[in-house]
Structure 1
Amino acid sequence: MNENSAFVVEFDQLRRADVARVGGKNSSLGEMIQQLGQQGVDVPPGFATTSQAYWNFIDENGIRETMNRLIEDWRAGKASLPQTGQAIRQLFLRADWPASTARAIIEAYTALSKRAGRPDASVAVRSSATAEDLPDASFAGQQETFLNISGEKALLDACRRCFASLFTDRAISYRQTKGFDHMKVALSIGVQQMVRSDIGGSGVMFSIDTETGFDKVVLIDAAWGLGENVVQGAVDPDEYQVFKPFLDDPALCPIISKKRGHKKIKMIYGTGEQPTRNVPTSKAEQAAFVLSDAEILTLARWAATIERHYGCAMDMEWARDGETGRLYIVQARPETVQSNRETAAFSSYTIRSKGKTLVTGLSIGDAIVSGHVCMIESARDIDQFIDGSILVTSTTDPDWVPIMKRAAAIVTDHGGRTSHAAIVSRELGLPAIVGTGNATHLLHSGQEITVSCAEGDEGLVYEGTANYEVQTLNMDDIKPTRTKVMLNLANPGAAFRWWKLPADGVGLARMEFVISNAIRIHPMALVHFDRLTDPVAKQEIASLTSGYDDKSAYFVDQLAEGLARIAAALHPKPVIVRMSDFKTNEYAGLLGGAEFEPNEENPMIGFRGASRYYSPRYREGFALECRAIRKLRNELGFRNVVVMIPFCRSVGEAEKVLQVMAENGLRRGEDGLQVYVMCEIPSNVILAKEFARYFDGFSIGSNDLTQLTLGVDRDSGELAHLFDEQDEAVKWMIRTVIAEAGKAGAKIGICGQAPSDHPSFAQFLVGCGIDSISVTPDSFVAVKQNVAEAEASLDEDGAAEG
């Protein structure tokens, strides 16, 4: 046995069972090199010091008793945490390397340099504690990492500083909270060949959605240069989401979201005493995505492979070498927040009233909190923080953890979903909004605000105290039903929040919501960009579509990705996507829209729905909608998507719309494509048998059907007392079309608001034999219970009659 093996071991000799010997981080690197290398996962080579090397360092320098005494004094209240941490770290930093340990490290480094083909190879020096990366505790970011270390002296110095970092204030505090004995946790050091990501890119990746725990997506953050900026939240990275179930099909490209970050700085190699430094990125770098689609898919496949091997959700760091273009995994550890979250129940927040929006960013968590701002711009001013306030700052690092624990919520200028502020907020269960860009400029200490992370991907800071309700949805209370209960979803950013609900699919996904929020541009303004006369709209459209030679492709990509997130949330269950159903006044409100829309006295029953799709006024715009659906189904892979046509006034109109769809590559029945029609006009009921020849199913829009059956403008305050979805005339319409659909063998459901608001209405629908009821997520549990009771009552009545 080599005498060095007591102190140093190569990564490729390690397995995940070696945590006690080399810590979680290093044992995991060895596991991946040994077990996953043959599956294509690339990990840079390196070596680890052992826990024995750590204890040998302590005992050869005779500092164990002093460390024990300092810790006991702190526990007894004789010294502060900063005093204790500083004193213990100084013990390490003033200590000498035992000759045998230093020799083992230098020999391993020489061998690594020889393998790299260069003397004094540049290495990353990372800490790996033996209590690290356990299922119920994450020590991520608590010990130091040093990048671009070159030469024997610099390496030994970095290793000594790694040992000392086991006693940072945050690490001491965390171990104490988690019940770890400070004198039984050792520190291993990982020395890994540097990936030249300083001239490439790097980032963080999760095999699970970090905010909702949705387990079918991979989340990737990416920035230019070394990865520390992403981890620390110093940069606003690109963000990509990939749908895991489709990764094995090489014909598909299941990237369901691509968001370009500002990426205003990058960390590159420095020299001498400053081995790394930050520099501004070029405008070209800021405007470009860090990763190509092929690279995104490669990383996502690696994430799925690593997750499958470890049998749990994983948190990984990756890097791309700018010299070779090769991708590498440089760290992997179990994800510890969502994996430990209670799954039987979750809270749903609904805002009833709110002040104006002050700041927006990325939402972390799913809660809402109101409180007073406490602005802290520097870690030096941490002692000024007021307990229970909302912490507003530029960015956070591990030194901020003590006050983050005392905050009600957190708002930062910089950072992505994998930044330090985001990770710690999740672990603490705090709502946070990161990457706002300007919170420290627009908010001030003492200001009363509401932080909302309950409205999707976008986090919003409102002025004042919002009025909101919290509802606990308990999965254990839900009974199965024959009648399908589905969800009405519109916001792609919030879709993943509802993946745990045992819904039977999505009964209504509103395309126009995605268009108005994610795209914001009238499709005809993209088709005919050169015809636009409004210079302001033209400039904004040019800005939004930068990077697209074909501006129409921007519409197709954004719409397909937005709908993909809704389709992914409940896959493989059906997701019914309603083609755009704006009224002309709403279309005119989109960028460039005013130049393509007529003025109507009553848009509610005007140029809307099916009539637009074959009209010369909008036919080219509808073609883009069809292209997006085609991409959604054929390129991204979501064949569970059903298309639905709104406001189809006549059978002749149905025929025209299906013809236009076919011309644009959406042919009913081809590749399993189903086409439904909204039942919201009396003619849809009267001629239900004929409509069923053209459509696979009906979805009752009870709001419009009530309006047109009773002749009541649903927006009229004067006639509000007459607008009643439970009016006998409306119920006759619904009862009749359900019966006619059943005779024709067509599916029929309802996607109006009435079943959510009125339990008796849900019971009426079940009694009529409806196939499905689609409701808002917050009313799902109540409606499901109403349906179960209605079915039980019908069964009892049937048994009594029998």
Structure 2
Amino acid sequence: MPTDDEVLFFDTLRRDDVPIVGGKNASLGEMVQKLGAAGILVPPGFASTANAYRRFCRANGIEALIHSTMAAYREGRMTLHQAGDTIRAAIVAGHWPDATEAALRAAYAELSTRTGQDDIAVAVRSSATAEDLPDASFAGQQETYLNVRGEDDLLIACRKCYASLFTDRAISYRDAKGFDHMQVALSVGVQQMVRSDLGGSGVMFSIDTETGFDKVVLIDAAWGLGENVVQGTVTPDEYQVYKPFLDRDGVRPIIDKTLGAKEKKMIYAAEGDAGPVRNVPTSRAERARFVLSDDEVLELARKAVTIEEHYGVPMDIEWAKDGNTGALFVVQARPETVQSRSGAALKHYSVGEHGATLVTGLSVGEQVASGRVCLIETAEDIDRFVDGAVLVTSTTDPDWVPIMKRASAIVTDHGGRTSHAAIVSRELGVPALVGCGDATYLLHDQQEVTVSCAEGDIGHVYDGPAEVTVEEIDLTEVAQTRTKVMLNMANPATAARWWRLPADGVGLARMEFVIANTIRVHPEALIHFDDLRDAAVREEIEKLTTGYADKTEYFVDRLALGLARIAAVAYPNPMILRMSDFKTNEYADLLGGAQFEPTESNPMIGWRGASRYYDPAYQQGFELECRAVRRLREQIGFDNVMVMIPFCRTPEEADRVITVMQGQGLQRGVQGLQTYVMCEIPSNVVLAGEFAKRFDGFSIGSNDLTQLTLGIDRDSDKLAPLFDERHEAVQWMIRTVIEKAHEAGAKIGLCGQAPSNYPDFARVLVEAGIDSISVVPDSFVQVKKHVAAAEAD
């Protein structure tokens, strides 16, 4: 391809044309040429070349000005702002060489003709010849101008794009990355506008941006044009889709949906407005509903997978929905540059004692940092930032990069996990909380805080310094074992961080954690909502269930989605899901729960587990749990999920529970469903043969089994020294039930705390012939070593 052309249409470009038209435009051309037949819709357009930029600079003496100005900046005779201002002003005031101007005008006219529109509205985007590289994304470094109409306005917008190559943030970023300012050229992409001002737009990644989990697509969406999502000035809707199931018939593998605030939207300006676009507040109805339907979410996810497979690397993609036609377009695609380069070592942060929670938000990164707050409202004040401080501001756009890299942590009121600020924070390795809502209101200058992004999707700002431990786990040292070593998991928000562990599945997924932390409402309070007596509880439940006409559907949907995020990490290995195992006092703590729960003197051995599931006072609640499990297996697609019944005292009780489950479509052996029973009561050991007739396997709960074998309340401070899961009586119980389970042809594992607390206890289990051991992720590598050593003896 000749490199002396002024303008090239996208349909003549390929991905290796980066030196000619920059990363963005080369990628657009690649998709137009290679992926159109695969259903990837890219709005048509053209790109000015890097040579056109160089000719413009030579014609206006810009190259000499850049050289002298940057020399003055390096020598301290100019500030960064003065240097950038000088270069930008010269570029904006420059004149176009005749050939370049003629080529741009002709290309714009041709694009209008091709699309059948006079003075077509276009997006004018910068595309540098050094961007979207493996070690430097240059995300958001240059400007974009939307709804540009007419040849004259196009020429103005192109000059502004050239000038944006020398914003303060772009100069600083190139200096930090070691790029020569004279060697970077700019191409301008001119692309037909998608009427997303009438629809929605956003960003998607073909990888989990926080953990690098490569089996999900992460999609952010907001109303209107996409700049608000990219710049992080709104909190978008967020969706996660499990990639391996996208081609499976009959399933809809959306594993998470979070409704964002979507505070405003960018639309076309009205006649007489100052610019071509403007921001307006969204309506309450728009804030209360998702931008995308489930079908659209899945369509976008399939597009992301198609693009990723073509490029062979995880991708960062911008998309737009045309409000007139409903079509979903891809308007940019670039390689993801942070998680795709992460190595085999896992660095795990844990927060111990900490102060009061001051602010919460979406966590970016998995680190913890402490420092003093530096509250800065506008970019004009960034000069007063103190190195190592916690930057707190309303929103961090690319102008803030020079101080973002010097911050110990970043906290913003607005933004989502795919905003520019989040992308840059990840690249810089700086933990950030975005979309906090009121951080600038609640925090103040010089305040000592700890910012924690190590506790899942929701991060916390704690008052004062916190107790923090850091552990590095080297996955290259994990031993191979015959005995399966699985994980205990409860929190969907933290599950994906452990995806690199070579575990044999999830041996215990605790349903009650999802109910308590995600759903928060007692199931009976949803079933009998009209009968609730507490007005404040009714009001709070109304807020939580916004968008759900049937309040029980809220329980089923949110439970299925929460569990799906754990099942996704385990797949195709099994996930053993324990049905709810709250005690009555814990159920009573759920919203509305006090109205439906009795007061028991000893809830630990009271109305819990299996005894609730067939009881008329809770059976309807258990049926909601079953509905969620069926949706998880059959609609979302995680047929690796097994069901486990806790605290099942007798075989007759097991029969009653099994009957209820069958009534909800969960029948052992149908569609591969396996069922397990917890072994945590001495009767489970004594009658193991009878239980084995009803279940596929056992999972030993060493905490409760120790409690009931030794007759010790495990919550008693007085008796704590006597509580020991390694006691010979407990070991006898464990060895006996393993032997009986194997005699009956049933599988048996252990999911209690003992191996996590005492990794050497794994030897006892291996010698007894256990099939699997399930431990908390932090203990996985150490337990693996003990299991391997025991097997070798």
Q: Same fold (TM over 0.5)?
A: yes
Shift of 1:569: 1.1
Amino acid across the alignment from 2:57: I
Shift of 1:115: 2.3
Is the counterpart of residue 187 in structure 1 residue 180 in structure 2? Answer: no
Deviations 1:524-554 (A, max 9, x none): 1111111111111111111111211111111
**Contact persistence 1:29–1:43 (CA under 8 A):** yes
Q: 1: distance between equivalents of 2:388 and 2:59?
A: 46
Write the mapping of 1:692-707 to structure 2, written as runs, cut at 5 A: 692-707=692-707
Segments of structure 1 that go 5 or more residues without pairing to the other structure are 794-802
Q: 1: distance between equivalents of 2:655 and 2:409?
A: 54
Q: 2: distance between equivalents of 1:59 and 1:470?
A: 53
The residue aligned with 1:329 is 330
Q: 2: distance between equivalents of 1:62 and 1:779?
A: 64
**Contact persistence 2:173–2:401 (CA under 8 A):** no
Q: 2: distance between equivalents of 1:5 and 1:474?
A: 51
Amino acid across the alignment from 1:248: D
The residue aligned with 1:102 is 101
The residue aligned with 1:781 is 781
Q: 2: distance between equivalents of 1:476 and 1:39?
A: 38
The residue aligned with 1:632 is 632
The residue aligned with 1:681 is 681
**Contact persistence 2:139–2:423 (CA under 8 A):** no
Q: 2: distance between equivalents of 1:738 and 1:249?
A: 38
SS of residue in 1 equivalent to 2:451: strand
Please identify, of 669-678 and 83-92, the stretch whose mean Cα deviation from structure 2 is larger.
83-92
**Contact persistence 1:204–1:318 (CA under 8 A):** yes
The residue aligned with 2:75 is 76
Q: 1: distance between equivalents of 2:78 and 2:437?
A: 39
Q: 2: distance between equivalents of 1:421 and 1:178?
A: 18
Shift of 1:694: 0.5
The residue aligned with 1:197 is 196
Q: 2: distance between equivalents of 1:63 and 1:495?
A: 52
Q: 2: distance between equivalents of 1:319 and 1:495?
A: 30
The residue aligned with 1:372 is 372
**Contact persistence 1:449–1:461 (CA under 8 A):** yes
User: Kindly tell me: are residues 541 and 385 of structure 1, through their superposed partners in 2, closer, same or farther at Cα, counting changes over 3 Å?
Assistant: same
The residue aligned with 2:122 is 123
**Contact persistence 1:376–1:382 (CA under 8 A):** yes
Q: 2: distance between equivalents of 1:180 and 1:761?
A: 55
Q: 1: distance between equivalents of 2:677 and 2:324?
A: 55
Amino acid across the alignment from 1:235: V
SS of residue in 1 equivalent to 2:665: coil
Question: Matched residue pairs, number?
Answer: 791
User: Kindly tell me: are residues 93 and 46 of structure 1, through their superposed partners in 2, closer, same or farther at Cα, counting changes over 3 Å?
Assistant: same
The residue aligned with 2:530 is 530
Shift of 1:485: 0.8
Deviations 1:75-130 (A, max 9, x none): 33332222221111122112101111111111111111122222111100000001
**Contact persistence 2:760–2:783 (CA under 8 A):** no
Amino acid across the alignment from 2:116: G
The residue aligned with 1:282 is 283
SS of residue in 1 equivalent to 2:37: helix
Shift of 1:71: 2.1
The residue aligned with 2:231 is 232
Is the counterpart of residue 605 in structure 1 residue 591 in structure 2? Answer: no
SS of residue in 2 equivalent to 1:353: coil
The residue aligned with 1:17 is 16
The residue aligned with 2:26 is 27
**Contact persistence 1:265–1:280 (CA under 8 A):** yes
Q: 1: distance between equivalents of 2:290 and 2:62?
A: 50
Amino acid across the alignment from 2:56: F
Shift of 1:773: 0.8
The residue aligned with 2:176 is 177
The residue aligned with 2:320 is 319
SS of residue in 2 equivalent to 1:89: helix
Please identify, of 147-156 and 784-793, the stretch whose mean Cα deviation from structure 2 is larger.
784-793
Shift of 1:778: 0.8
**Contact persistence 2:449–2:464 (CA under 8 A):** yes
SS of residue in 2 equivalent to 1:274: coil
Shift of 1:273: 4.1
Q: 2: distance between equivalents of 1:95 and 1:4?
A: 23
**Contact persistence 2:360–2:458 (CA under 8 A):** yes
**Contact persistence 2:496–2:565 (CA under 8 A):** yes
The residue aligned with 1:146 is 145
SS of residue in 2 equivalent to 1:445: coil
The residue aligned with 1:448 is 448
**Contact persistence 1:4–1:101 (CA under 8 A):** no
Shift of 1:4: 11
Q: 2: distance between equivalents of 1:589 and 1:756?
A: 28
Shift of 1:193: 0.2
Q: 1: distance between equivalents of 2:71 and 2:278?
A: 39
Amino acid across the alignment from 2:119: D
**Contact persistence 2:416–2:435 (CA under 8 A):** yes
**Contact persistence 1:233–1:419 (CA under 8 A):** yes
Shift of 1:5: 7.3
The residue aligned with 2:353 is 353
Amino acid across the alignment from 1:29: L
Write the mapping of 1:296-311 to structure 2, written as runs, cut at 5 A: 296-311=297-312
The residue aligned with 1:210 is 209
Amino acid across the alignment from 1:299: L
**Contact persistence 1:451–1:460 (CA under 8 A):** yes
Amino acid across the alignment from 2:397: D
Q: 2: distance between equivalents of 1:540 and 1:408?
A: 36
Q: 2: distance between equivalents of 1:268 and 1:724?
A: 65
Q: 2: distance between equivalents of 1:68 and 1:717?
A: 73
Write the mapping of 1:330-479 to structure 2, written as runs, cut at 5 A: 330-341=331-342, 343-479=343-479
Amino acid across the alignment from 2:585: N
Q: 2: distance between equivalents of 1:716 and 1:60?
A: 83
Please identify, of 118-127 and 266-275, the stretch whose mean Cα deviation from structure 2 is larger.
266-275
Q: 2: distance between equivalents of 1:50 and 1:160?
A: 13
Q: 2: distance between equivalents of 1:609 and 1:404?
A: 50
Shift of 1:174: 1.5
**Contact persistence 1:11–1:48 (CA under 8 A):** yes
Deviations 1:367-392 (A, max 9, x none): 11111111111111111111111111
**Contact persistence 1:450–1:462 (CA under 8 A):** yes
Shift of 1:250: 3.5
SS of residue in 2 equivalent to 1:184: coil
Q: 2: distance between equivalents of 1:294 and 1:162?
A: 36
User: Kindly tell me: are residues 352 and 328 of structure 1, through their superposed partners in 2, closer, same or farther at Cα, counting changes over 3 Å?
Assistant: same
Q: 1: distance between equivalents of 2:35 and 2:109?
A: 26
Q: 2: distance between equivalents of 1:282 and 1:400?
A: 30
Amino acid across the alignment from 1:14: L
Structure 1 consecutive aligned stretches of length 4 or more whose deviation exceeds 4 Å? none
**Contact persistence 1:4–1:104 (CA under 8 A):** no
**Contact persistence 1:351–1:467 (CA under 8 A):** yes
Shift of 1:759: 2.9
Deviations 1:725-768 (A, max 9, x none): 11111100001001111111111111111111113311111110
**Contact persistence 1:576–1:644 (CA under 8 A):** yes
The residue aligned with 2:296 is 295
The residue aligned with 2:503 is 503
Is the counterpart of residue 158 in structure 1 residue 157 in structure 2? Answer: yes
Shift of 1:570: 2.2
The residue aligned with 1:796 is none
Please identify, of 331-340 and 170-179, the stretch whose mean Cα deviation from structure 2 is larger.
170-179
Q: 2: distance between equivalents of 1:390 and 1:542?
A: 36
**Contact persistence 1:432–1:453 (CA under 8 A):** yes
Q: 2: distance between equivalents of 1:276 and 1:692?
A: 68
Deviations 1:38-73 (A, max 9, x none): 000100000000111111111222332222222233
Is the counterpart of residue 739 in structure 1 residue 739 in structure 2? Answer: yes
Q: 2: distance between equivalents of 1:728 and 1:135?
A: 56
Please identify, of 52-61 and 575-584, the stretch whose mean Cα deviation from structure 2 is larger.
52-61
SS of residue in 1 equivalent to 2:352: strand
The residue aligned with 1:39 is 38
